[in-house]
């Protein structure tokens, strides 16, 4: 099965599953604990129905959409995903390049295998930087200053990780970054020779053991590989004053990611953020958290247009994108969809995922009789329990 045989994101997902060893597949596909929130994201999106209008001339329709003064070819982008380099060689560059070619924004994770400066150099387009910060403000400031110098346009601070999630599958699989080689993942790697040679060994040969490049530190003139836990020090002590502080050192757009209630969206606004990302981290953090799409309406209403409201978590179809936009999201992001593409076919696979999302979104817009993204609203939706 080639990329052109992938007609939807689920096709790419199945291709990814075939190619990846267990340790990498589980890390991509699973949520936390019992995957309740992951399932809730899907169910909640699926329960929303369209109220399509008919006999509307949509022959001149467009997916173009503006955010923070930039116009994109579609109202969606690629969410930050750490350890993306497990899915294809130089995945962070591949994702950024595919986004640039498609004319949509890309968010680079703090936990990337490629240093932010190289991603900035090797990919054009609109790139934002996602920050995992700790209470160690010096460490945070070093990352922020690097992102600024490298030309990232926006800073996305992820706040739903005060402690690591309970991902038991990672423990069972011996998942660790810097990647540790053990008997189990050697055996698994040998059963997935394409991944072993084209992803793992290629990375090993070009860059050494896969690790988080942005958190490496220079000690005594030597680059020392750090795992993210070294950078996680006292992340559970963060509070809103840290957002206010970031506001003083970051001159561009500042977004807070991981917001699920209106009260926190208002605190983000009060502390100087330009927007929030309504997200439950794709169900990967607090299992049992509400579906992100269920949180969206109260946040849109509370914010009342005073800052941008972005959305992610559970998006697998263009229809999901249209639903979130109709509920008032200003832009929609997805994490797994493009990583399935990266796993299935590197940069081309990411491009295929973006193309699928684009054509599905366009088709749904035509079928509901709405020619422009700005024209979307609640009138196109029937919410569960509203009949
Ligand atoms: C493999 C993987 C790694 C992720 N790493 C990060 C990360 O480093 N920082 C972050 O803010 N979110 C991270 N996320 C969450 C995504 O940014 C996004 O919130 C989530 O994937 C959206 O849900 P979806 O996968 O259903 O689209 C990660 C998600 C996945 C699947």
* Position 38 in a domain: yes
Check 89, 126, 192, 281 and give the catalytic one: 281
- Which of 211, 281, 357 to probe ligand 1 with, by most ligand atoms within 8 A of CB? 281
Ligand 1 atom closest to Cα of residue 107: 17
* Position 387 in a domain: no
312 CB within 6 A, ligand 1: yes
Closest C-alpha to ligand 1, atom 19: 281
Closest C-alpha to ligand 1, atom 5: 81
358 CB within 6 A, ligand 1: no
Q: Tell the residue number behind the tokens 């699989």, with chain if given.
A: 173
Confidence (pLDDT) at 175 = 84
* Position 32 in a domain: yes
* Position 317 in a domain: yes
Blockwise average pLDDT, block size 10, the chain, 387 residues: 94 98 96 98 98 98 98 98 96 98 98 96 98 91 96 98 92 82 85 94 89 75 62 85 98 98 98 98 98 98 98 98 98 98 98 98 98 98 83
Mapping DSSP onto H, E and C, the string for the chain reads: CCHHHCCCHHHHHHHHHHHCCHHHHHHHHCCCCCCHHHHHHHHHHHHCEECCCCCCCCCCCECCEEECCEEECCCEEECCCCCHHHCCCCHHHHHHHHHHHHCCCEEECCCCCCCHHHHHHHCCCCEEEEECCCCCHHHHHHHHHHHHHHCCCEEEEECCCCCCCCCHHHHHHCCCCCCCCCHHHHHHHHCCHHHHHHHHHHHHHHHCCCCCHHHCEEECCEEECCCHHHHCCCHHHCCHHHHHHHHHHCCCEEEEEEECCHHHHHHHHHCCCCEEEECCHHHCCCCCCCCHHHHHHHHHHHHCCCCEEEECCCCCCHHHHHHHHHCCCCEEEECHHHHHHHHHHHHHHHHHHHHHHHHHHHHHHHHHCCCEHHHCCHHHEECCCCC
80 CB within 6 A, ligand 1: yes
Confidence (pLDDT) at 19 = 97
CATH number, position 41:
3.20.20.70
Ligand 1 atom closest to Cα of residue 80: 17
Ligand 1 atom closest to Cα of residue 110: 8
Active-site annotation holds for 281: yes
- Total domains in the fold of the chain: 1
Confidence (pLDDT) at 229 = 63
pTM for the whole structure: 0.96
Confidence (pLDDT) at 228 = 64
Confidence (pLDDT) at 225 = 62
* Position 217 in a domain: yes
Per the CB < 8 A criterion, the answer to whether 80 and 156 are in contact is yes
| Ligand 1 centroid, distance to 335 Cα (angstroms) | 5
- Which of 81, 160, 310 to probe ligand 1 with, by most ligand atoms within 8 A of CB? 81
Confidence (pLDDT) at 69 = 97
- 57 C-beta neighbours (distance < 10 Å), count: 8
* Position 9 in a domain: yes
257 CB within 6 A, ligand 1: yes
Q: List the domain range (segments joined by +) for residue 31.
A: 3-382
* Position 188 in a domain: yes
28 CB within 6 A, ligand 1: yes
| Ligand 1 centroid, distance to 56 Cα (angstroms) | 37
């Amino acid at each position: 099965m080639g990329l052109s045989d992938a007609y939807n994101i689920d096709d790419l997902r199945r291709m990814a599953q075939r190619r990846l060893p267990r340790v990498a597949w589980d890390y991509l596909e699973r949520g936390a604990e019992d995957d309740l929130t992951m399932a809730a994201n899907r169910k909640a999106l699926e329960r929303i129905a369209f109220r399509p209008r008919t006999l509307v001339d949509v022959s001149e329709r467009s997916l173009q959409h503006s955010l923070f003064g930039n116009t994109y070819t579609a109202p969606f982008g690629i969410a930050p995903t750490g350890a993306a380099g497990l899915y294809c060689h130089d995945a962070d560059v591949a994702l950024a390049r595919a986004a640039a070619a498609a004319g949509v924004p890309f968010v680079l994770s703090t936990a990337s295998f490629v240093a932010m400066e190289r991603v900035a150099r090797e990919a054009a387009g609109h790139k934002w930087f996602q920050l995992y910060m700790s209470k160690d403000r010096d460490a945070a400031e070093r990352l922020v200053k690097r992102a600024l110098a490298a030309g990232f346009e926006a800073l996305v601070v992820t706040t739903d990780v005060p402690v690591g999630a309970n991902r038991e599958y990672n423990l069972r699989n011996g998942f660790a970054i810097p990647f540790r080689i053990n008997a189990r993942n050697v055996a698994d790697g040998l059963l997935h020779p394409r991944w072993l040679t084209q992803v793992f060994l290629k990375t090993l040969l070009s860059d050494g053991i896969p690790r988080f490049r942005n958190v490496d530190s220079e000690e005594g003139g030597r680059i020392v590989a750090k795992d993210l836990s070294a950078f996680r020090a006292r992340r559970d002590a963060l509070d809103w004053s840290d957002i206010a502080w970031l506001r003083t050192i970051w001159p561009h757009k500042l977004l807070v990611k991981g917001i699920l209630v209106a009260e926190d969206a208002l605190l983000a606004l009060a502390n100087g953020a330009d927007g929030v990302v309504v997200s439950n981290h794709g169900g990967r953090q607090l299992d049992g958290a509400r579906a992100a799409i269920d949180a969206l309406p109260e946040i849109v209403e509370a914010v009342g247009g005073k800052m941008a409201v972005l959305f992610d978590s559970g998006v697998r179809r263009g229809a999901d994108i249209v639903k979130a936009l109709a509920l008032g999201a200003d832009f929609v992001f997805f994490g797994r969809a493009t990583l399935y593409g990266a796993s299935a076919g590197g940069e081309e696979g990411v491009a295929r995922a973006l193309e699928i999302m684009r054509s599905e979104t366009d088709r749904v817009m035509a079928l509901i009789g709405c020619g422009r993204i700005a024209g979307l609203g609640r009138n196109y939706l029937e919410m569960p329990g509203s009949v």
